[in-house]
Structure 1
Amino acid sequence: MQRSGEHECELCHMRYSCVRLLRAHVNAAHARRYACRRCPYLSQTRCKAREHEMWHNGHTYPCQICGVIFE
């Protein structure tokens, strides 16, 4: 897939040589939305949706500098 040309994606600014390739990119990369069932959050990828769900399930992480644990 060519990523340069006169046709530009308005969302991520990738460029394509023809409208057909641009349309295929938009459908694959930007058309899907994953909605959280617990809050208004919307994600464009399944990976980000799963990562978001971790926060609702109590995921915590320690600060690399001070060691404080955040939710």
Structure 2
Amino acid sequence: MKTPFNDDNAVSNSLVDSYAKCGNILYTRKVFDLMKEHDVISWNSLISGYAVHGLGIDALSLFRKMIDEGPKPME
């Protein structure tokens, strides 16, 4: 998590997705929280990671947070 690529959203999104797929929700959330900017991919990786690993209530809570704070779709 401490690399010259910390500011690269693509690298951070890949880490969030990888940790989520491996079931390491703690690191998934840590990388997500350390990101400077969250995009649709970041949110999707985080929410799906929670949902797939049996944390549906938390996934729904994150979805609501994304709707309130997250990126807005282009019009």
TM bucket normalised to smaller: under 0.3
> Is the strand fraction higher in 1 or 2?
1
Whose Rg is larger?
1
Higher relative contact order (CA 8 A, sep 6+): 2
- Structure with the largest fraction of helix: 2
TM-score with structure 2 length normalisation? 0.22
